[in-house]
Amino acid sequence: MSTASALNTGTQSVDRAALLVATVVHADEPLSFAALQARSGLPKSTTSRLLAALERTELLERNGSGSYVAGPLFWLYSTRHDPWEELVRLARPTLERVGEDSGETVNLSVVRGDRVVQVDQVDSTYLLGTQDWTQVDVPVHCSALGKVMLAHGVLDVPARLEQVTPATITDHAALRSDLAQVLRRGYASTTDELEVGLTGVGVPVRGKGGDVIAALGVSGPNPRLVDRLDEIGRLLNHRAEQLSSLLRRRTRKEGVA
């Protein structure tokens, strides 16, 4: 084969592989081998060979039913350029499971600058629940999710500790003691510190190398939660470990954030 012919053949293979990737990405649902081969118009043997190569290079992958979807490299790119949207997508089933298990409001938070931002919420199954915290700017030192970030060094303790309620910790020594307890027992908690009558529990979600990249938490009225802190802490840690494992698998060598 001449050099020109080899180059043409190589270019043709790239074009055909790109066609398969584009067909999968533009499809409204996962595509079976037969559907993908029919849409692309490629011979079956060529389709099979190229799909195997695209799976090896993580451009495509097969779901549980064997149909083709965009591969891990797409998720990796997404996490680098729009990390919170992809984190929310992957974490949503976990939030829903925690909501089913606890019956309470469930939140997922991340750090943006020097703030902790709620990026997703599953509402309580009780008539008396909590508000939509995704729209609220919450001081980090008086929320369970904020304390997770402070305790694990994702954020520095603010120089000024605003007193939001009479129970808010405003003494730096007392806060440092509380944060040390967070690390010892594995979860953070607040009671009346953000809102009188409200209890919150939060745990870390980890990404690449064990770094804390988010916090998962539950909040609800004191009578329903104040005597269940350890129980809720264990539940959250169990689900957070599952989520952390999922995030590491989906992004392979990179964390979600």
Joined together, the tokens standing for residue 46 give 């060529």
Residue pair 202/188 in contact by the 8 Å Cβ criterion: yes
Mean pLDDT across the stretch 145-157? 96
For residue 173, pLDDT over 50 is answered with yes
- pLDDT tens digits along 183-202: 999 999 999 999 999 999 99
For residue 138, pLDDT over 90 is answered with no
To the nearest whole percent, how much of the chain has pLDDT over 90?
66
- Please, what is the end-to-end C-alpha distance for the chain in angstroms? 48
pLDDT band of 178, cuts 50, 70, 90: very high
Residue pair 201/193 in contact by the 8 Å Cβ criterion: no
| Segment (H or E) for 190 | strand 188-191
For residue 87, pLDDT over 80 is answered with yes
Place of tokens 């799976």: 55
For residue 255, pLDDT over 50 is answered with no
58: left (phi over 0), alpha (psi -120 to 50) or beta: left
Task: Please tell me the pTM assigned to this model.
Answer: 0.66
Predicted local distance difference test score (pLDDT) of residue 2:
42
Higher pLDDT, 225 or 257: 225
Q: What angle do CA 234, 235, 240 make, to 5 degrees?
A: 95
Predicted local distance difference test score (pLDDT) of residue 147:
97
Q: What share of the chain is helix, strand, coil (3-state, %, to 5)?
A: 50, 20, 30
Mean pLDDT across the stretch 45-61? 93
Residue pair 106/95 in contact by the 8 Å Cβ criterion: yes
Predicted local distance difference test score (pLDDT) of residue 112:
84
Q: Which residues are bridge partners to 120 per DSSP?
A: 108
Mean pLDDT across the stretch 145-170? 96
Alpha carbons 193 and 230: distance in angstroms, whole number: 18
- pLDDT tens digits along 89-100: 889 999 999 999
pLDDT band of 9, cuts 50, 70, 90: low
For residue 7, pLDDT over 50 is answered with no
Residue pair 69/24 in contact by the 8 Å Cβ criterion: yes
Higher pLDDT, 98 or 12: 98
Q: Can you list the domains of the chain with their CATH numbers? A: 3-70 (1.10.10.10), 82-251 (3.30.450.40)
Higher pLDDT, 129 or 215: 215
Question: Which residues touch 28 (CB under 8 Å, ≥6 apart)?
Answer: none
